């Protein structure tokens, strides 16, 4: 997981929030065999901090050398700057679930457990 700023911004604790969100999802992904039949071993998520929310993911080609699938999404940096650590963590968690559901749909992977974990995104 990584992040890149497309606009000038300062999102406090974004690294901690993203790591906490990822760590909260990882056990469910492993327990449900999310990547078991995937043509990649890793989903490489890039959060693009921009001037709008665009949750239509850019899903790249599988990097055969690293066995990774690059996936990027744009999030409204100004909106994220206003969130506290807990709210930001929940926002990232919700975004990750949505992206993983899109990946599951594209690669015929299990998603029912992710669907059950969905929560509404923070107010825009």
pTM of the model: 0.90
Specify the CATH number for the domain of residue 106. 3.30.2010
On whether residue 123 sits in a domain, the answer given is: no
On whether residue 16 sits in a domain, the answer given is: yes
The stretch 64-89 carries a mean pLDDT of 97
Q: What percent of the chain has pLDDT over 70?
A: 95
Name residues whose C-beta falls within 8 Å of residue 26's C-beta, 6 or more positions apart in sequence. Answer: none
On whether residue 51 sits in a domain, the answer given is: yes
Q: Which residues constitute the domain of residue 6?
A: 2-117
Residue 7 is predicted with a pLDDT of 97
Name residues whose C-beta falls within 8 Å of residue 77's C-beta, 6 or more positions apart in sequence. Answer: 5, 6, 7, 9, 11, 49, 50, 51
Q: Is the pLDDT of residue 18 over 80?
A: yes
pLDDT tens track for 33-59: 999 999 999 999 999 999 999 999 999
The CA-based angle 97-69-6, given to 5 degrees, is 75
The span from the CA of 60 to the CA of 79, in Å, is 26
């Amino acid at each position: 997981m990584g992040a890149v700023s497309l606009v000038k911004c300062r999102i406090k604790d974004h690294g901690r929030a993203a790591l906490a969100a990822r760590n909260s999802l990882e056990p469910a992904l492993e327990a449900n065999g999310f990547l078991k039949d995937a043509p990649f071993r890793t989903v490489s998520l890039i959060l693009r901090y921009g001037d709008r929310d665009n949750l239509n993911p850019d899903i790249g080609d599988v990097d055969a050398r690293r066995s990774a699938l690059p996936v990027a999404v744009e999030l409204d940096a100004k909106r994220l700057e206003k969130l506290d650590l807990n709210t930001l963590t929940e926002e990232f968690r919700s975004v990750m679930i949505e992206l993983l559901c899109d990946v599951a749909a594209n690669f015929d992977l299990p998603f029912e457990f992710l669907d059950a974990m969905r929560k509404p995104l923070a107010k825009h």
